[in-house]
Amino acid sequence: MVLMTLLPSRLLPKVRPVAAADYFLKHRLLAWFALQIVGIIPIVRGGRREGTDPLAAIHAALERGEILILFPEGSRGEPERLADFKSGVAHLALAHPGVPVIPVFLHGLGKSLPKDAAVPVPFFCDVFVGEPLPWTEDRKLYLQQLRERMNALAAEGQFPAWE
């Protein structure tokens, strides 16, 4: 939601956060809000299952020219600590090399909306937006470069870099 507030209102109909189906679709009211108001693309975590592509809805959204918000680590994890990146963002960059992947460093959200909290707490949040990262033809190198960009954004805000 924080990232959505940074965009011009004319773009909001095209913005689609990618979110975990097992969390956002588990309760009827939350599912309605997530799907109808926020417009999430629900994703089943755990990778590819036989005969299914967990990224199919994301590929379709990118082909329609939608703007996606996703967390490359695949989960909120621990507040203010970056987890290892999943390979999904690299698969998307490979399949859609013309779509810019823009790293964004968020700080303070662990206090503003703690995990499993229903109501945001008023705290200041920092947002640092980096330059687009073009596809590099190598998944591991791409994820390494994305991590380096995130660490550079953290350093810009004088926050500790992640290992």
Please give the structure tokens belonging to residue 103. Answer: 């790293």
Report yes or no on 18 lying in a domain.
Answer: yes
- pLDDT surpasses 60 at 162: no
Tally the domains of the chain.
1
Report yes or no on 1 lying in a domain.
Answer: yes
Report yes or no on 20 lying in a domain.
Answer: yes
- Tell me the pLDDT tens digit for each residue of 86-123: 888 999 999 999 999 999 988 877 666 666 666 666 66
CA distance 140 to 125: 30
What rounded mean pLDDT belongs to the chain?
85
Report yes or no on 81 lying in a domain.
Answer: no
Number of H helices, E strands in the chain: 7, 5
- Tell me the pLDDT tens digit for each residue of 65-84: 999 999 888 776 676 677 88
The domain containing residue 35 runs over which residues? 1-70
